[in-house]
A and B are shown apart, each in its own frame.
Chain A
Amino acid sequence: MIDLLDIHVGYGGHKALDGLSLHVNDGVLLGIIGPGGCGKSTMCRVIAGLVQPDAGEVFVNRCNFRTCNRHELQSAQKDIGVQFQNDALFEHITVLENVEYPLKRLTDLRAGEIEAKAVETLAMVGLSGFEHRLPNRLSGGQRRRVALARACITRPGLLICDEPTAGLDPQTSRTILDMIAGIRYQTKCTVLVVSSDVVGLVSISNRIALVWSGKVIEEDSTTVFRQSERKEVQRFLDDARLPFAGWAWD
């Protein structure tokens, strides 16, 4: 369960989050949308315990991130898998080692078991045969999938995916979103997905949140959200439906 209450995060004079509140129940797949720079990534980083808010309360699985000590924070973080917007792959080790890494650090499984699990997870994201490549020899979509495999290999109770579909063609984008939905189906974890593929996101999410200049201005179940009267919501959904409405050069 995630509870954000009136979160403020500022960078210098600029407010990235400005009184953001959000409540997410266990087992929900929450799609997060919003214009660029509105604070989606910052919100994810607050939930992952990577950014301390200037004001406001953060509860993730009943752990209060503002008052808990470092060990409590670390043990809470062990149950959170994060796929970062920049993939954050470790560039000096192979794909397989990247995916094995969380298990090596967080569990005391034997090397053989770890490798078997990593190979299985890579197969699940469709990357069998790429185990021994270095990350910089992969395409953008393949890197995204390695990052996803690394985020979910420990079977975390909370999976956060920040822009897993950025810069991908529509087909690959759908494949990745389907994989995320599949992971949730298998492991029953709570999932937060930020994506600009609004149509794809709406098709896999139970609930949608719209972030607008540092606040969550609308959060509801997908069906209700689509019928919202708010002009920001309608504008966002319209833009997603008709990206190049009715004009051409010739």
Chain B
Amino acid sequence: MDISSQVGGAAVLLWRILVRLFPPRFDKNEFRKCLYSMGYQSLSIMIATAFVVGVILVIQAFVFVDRYGMRSQLGWGAGFVTIRELGPVLLALMFSGRVGAFTTAELGTMTVTEQVDGLRCLAIDPISYLVVPRFLAMVISLTALTMIGNAVALVSASVMGDIMMEVDSHTFWSSLFSMLKVGDIVLSVTKSALFGAIIAVNSCFFGLGTSGGAPGVGVSVNKTVVSSAVAIFVVDFFSTFVLG
């Protein structure tokens, strides 16, 4: 029913963001604050998530490589899935829950208490001032955090492999580096940047579209988290399909 209007509205918002990026017209101060709260302050939770992802992945991969007698390929088995698929997706879902939900709640509250109209009265464009800095900060933060997370997941996988499966870390890393292609890294970076953009556009779109007082903010947060998750899976499918 109104899914099409939501997708349309989000597309219009994305267009408005892009128009203000070339040439860049946005609030640098707000951007710096967002980068700190969204990127730096998410670091610990993202590292914890990545650590667990690495541990789980190596346990799952071990079952396969052991069955086919290819323990030496454990590093590649775990690394391939982490870098290409699970790292970007799981970290993006985590990011959406922490940063996306917070951004919607923040912008939603500003909208229902007329703070956004207050800005417009001062001839401040809410998109340049509120949305573009958040968009850039989320894309950059999620990409950087995913790269850090991938590294953490691989380190935790190699340590677990060493301790539990008696695959020494030298074998782990050499199997990983001999099979890993530049394209895998490119795919990981592309996915995380796309996921960051999805979360940013969704959270700002639903935040600024909030109506109906405090209960409306809850509704918007809910919509952001659900629609971001759906969009992440859809885009994940297509980007894997297209980029190999």
Residues of A with Cβ closer than 8 Å to B? 45, 48-50, 74-75, 77-78, 80-82, 84-91, 101-102, 105-106
Contacts and interface: CB of A to CB of B under 8 A. Distances in A.
B123 A86 contact: no
Contacts of A45: 117
A106 B114 contact: no
A106 B113 CA distance: 22
A88 B120 contact: no
A85 B114 contact: yes
A75 B123 CA distance: 7
Nearest to A80: B121
Interface in B105-152: 109, 112-115, 117-118, 120-124
B120 A77 contact: yes
B122 A102 contact: yes
Contacts of B123: 74-75, 77-78, 105-106
A86 B121 contact: no
A85 B114 CA distance: 8
Contacts, number: 48
17 contacts: A49-B120, A77-B122, A77-B123, A78-B123, A81-B121, A82-B117, A84-B117, A84-B118, A86-B114, A87-B114, A88-B117, A89-B113, A89-B115, A90-B118, A91-B115, A105-B122, A106-B122
Contacts of B118: 82, 84, 88, 90
A78 B113 CA distance: 21
Contact of B120 (A50, A86, A101, A102): A50
Contacts of B115: 88-91
Contacts of A84: 114, 117-118
A50 to B, nearest CB: 5
Contact of B122 (A85, A87, A91, A101): A101
Nearest to A85: B114
Contacts of A101: 122
Given A77-B122, A91-B109, 15 more contacts: A48-B121, A49-B120, A50-B121, A75-B123, A77-B120, A78-B123, A80-B121, A82-B117, A84-B118, A85-B114, A86-B114, A88-B114, A88-B115, A91-B113, A105-B122
Contacts of A48: 117, 121
Contacts of A86: 112-114
A105 B117 contact: no
A88 B114 CA distance: 5
Contacts of A87: 113-114
Contacts of B120: 49-50, 77
Nearest to B115: A88
Contact of B121 (A77, A85, A89, A91): A77
Nearest to B118: A88
> Which of A81, A85, A90 has the largest number of chain B CB atoms within 10 A?
A90
A50 B122 contact: no
Nearest to A82: B121
Contacts of A88: 113-115, 117-118
Given A101-B122, A105-B122, A50 B113 contact: no
Highest count of chain A CB atoms <10 Å: which of B114, B115, B118 = B118
Kindly list the 8 A-B residue pairs having the minimum CB-CB distance in the complex, ordered from nearest: A74-B123, A88-B114, A88-B118, A84-B114, A86-B113, A82-B121, A86-B114, A105-B122
A231 to B, nearest CB: 34
A10 to B, nearest CB: 15
Contacts of A78: 122-123
A105 B123 CA distance: 9
A85 B117 CA distance: 11
Nearest to B123: A74
A45 B118 CA distance: 11
B124 A50 contact: no
A53 to B, nearest CB: 16
A82 B122 CA distance: 9
B128 to A, nearest CB: 12
A45 B121 CA distance: 10
A48 B123 CA distance: 11
A89 B120 CA distance: 13
B153 to A, nearest CB: 35
A106 B115 CA distance: 17
A122 B112 CA distance: 26
